[in-house]
A and B are shown apart, each in its own frame.
Chain A
């Protein structure tokens, strides 16, 4: 579709761009003390954008802007995820003591711009667009991680993030250029056609290029050989930013990963066939399976030793990236379904755990798990909901995390016998993770004094915790609404042009 006609399909993104511009101008007007009010503007803008997205036709699948990006149900559901995550994190940031002392106008502006970057990541079908969208998200992440300029650890986080980021995006660019050199096109659909006609002689080049591109994507979702930045960045960044980085860019990375590999190495079958045929010769499925297994094992084993709650959640988010990655090589409708379902559930429980960590650090001034002792008695509200999020992250039955994991394992089992070993490793890992999640609950309830001051966090903080906890439990009992929505969103734009 031509550039001018495409604009009507691009309305939600245009709303986000308008929000960025308005926020940027408003930030000039506000004084330092009032610059947090930009947050309200951003919230309003996100609501308008969500509304526009809601009004867009849900079944529309069409390439726009001369085939650089597509509009389809798959990208639509991810855009909702990004808008929701950003909305919650903006609210969390406004109630965090960490960000009280600094000017936050730019902070909220950048968050709005991040939504655009992530939406483009979920919908791009052109190598140039893929690269640009990843860079937008990366650069904003660097700035947000280093937002507390007066703190050394925040600066360190940003610097480490930049160095790893530059390196991995260099590797990815090399992979993309190999792909371009082999085929002479940057369009994903033409690429998939040219690759299948290349013949076995270029399989080695394709494999190398796949590994290099995985470095870029893997860096965004923090899978294991590319995860080294995660703990330091997550610990050093302001907590709301950590929460954001562990959910939203990760979801965007997976959206890109799914679309990229399914379009490139699938045979272009539409999603309604149960198991797609993978291309012969390039062992990308094996690579992804091994990466998934290594990622969750490393994430869980290292998480056991962590003393800081933010580091613990950082390693647990690596482990979760491993679980989610299990669904990618299955290459079936069920696999993608399980991934999208899990990402939505993960959003609620991860953001919930982080919002609680913020409340605890506002009130008790600590991020060390051992110092959480007795909080379960001092503040039953915090104790109970922390337990809920920890149960859900482990995947214990009456919570949403269990349903998410169940779908993932079911997809693996139904995918064929070559995936059984991965499912077994996944289950073993869930058992390992039980240990360190339960340790947090144990410290809160069974250590320290049992004085009761019945602390309940004020207004908005309590509301955010509650708003995250309700879906974490509700989707564990009745998930058919979410399941239907995810199911109806599993339509890629697939036809070639």
Chain B
């Protein structure tokens, strides 16, 4: 029950923030909302017991890729953002709301005796590092190696296109 509540909650957050990324006119806000989207997506991965993927989602997408996005936005210098009055209230209201929701959800987890924290997960290991590594080097060895070639050609291209001398 609590599991499905969390799923629907975070799915709604993911969808809303993804929608706002597209609808927002300010590129910086869009980028921050995208981080939001990635975080709630990571929570959904957690709910699926794919812990490793959840961490990767945060490290790679919310971390590395978003920094890149922000850099690009900065370099493009899309004009000064204006802190609009009503938006600031919205921001405060939203953050307050989210803090309360987060607090309540943590409270629910600890108060409920459904044992969501202590559930023995048995043999299910698909989301772990071991399982992923094993799959990559047996079942998906060829795609894994081909991905390295994909990265290599992308690297060659980037170096060629970005080097100073024509």
Contact = CB atoms under 8 A, between A and B. Distances in A.
- The DSSP consensus for interface residues of chain B is helix
B153 A113 contact: yes
A68 B142 contact: yes
Interface of B: 138-143, 146-147, 149-150, 152-154, 156-157, 159-161, 166
B161 A149 contact: yes
A3 B138 contact: yes
A439 to B, nearest CB: 37
Contacts of B154: 139
Given A102-B166, A116-B149, A149-B166, A139 B142 contact: no
Contact of A110 (B139, B140, B143, B153): B153
Contact of B142 (A24, A69, A146, A147): A69
Nearest to B159: A106
A132 B147 contact: yes
A18 B146 CA distance: 14
A109 B152 CA distance: 11
B150 A135 contact: yes
A86 to B, nearest CB: 14
A138 to B, nearest CB: 10
Given A68-B140, A68-B143, A126-B143, A142 B153 contact: no
Most buried by A among B142, B152, B154, B161: B142
Interface string A110-122: 1001001000100
B166 A140 contact: no
B146 A66 contact: no
B157 A139 contact: yes
Nearest to A149: B166
For the complex of A and B, the 8 pairs showing the least CB-CB separation, nearest first, are: A143-B157, A65-B142, A106-B160, A128-B143, A68-B142, A113-B153, A3-B141, A136-B150
A140 B142 contact: no
B156 A129 contact: no
23 contacts: A65-B142, A66-B142, A68-B140, A68-B143, A106-B159, A110-B156, A110-B157, A113-B149, A116-B149, A120-B146, A128-B140, A129-B142, A132-B143, A132-B146, A132-B150, A136-B149, A136-B150, A139-B150, A139-B157, A140-B153, A140-B157, A143-B157, A143-B160
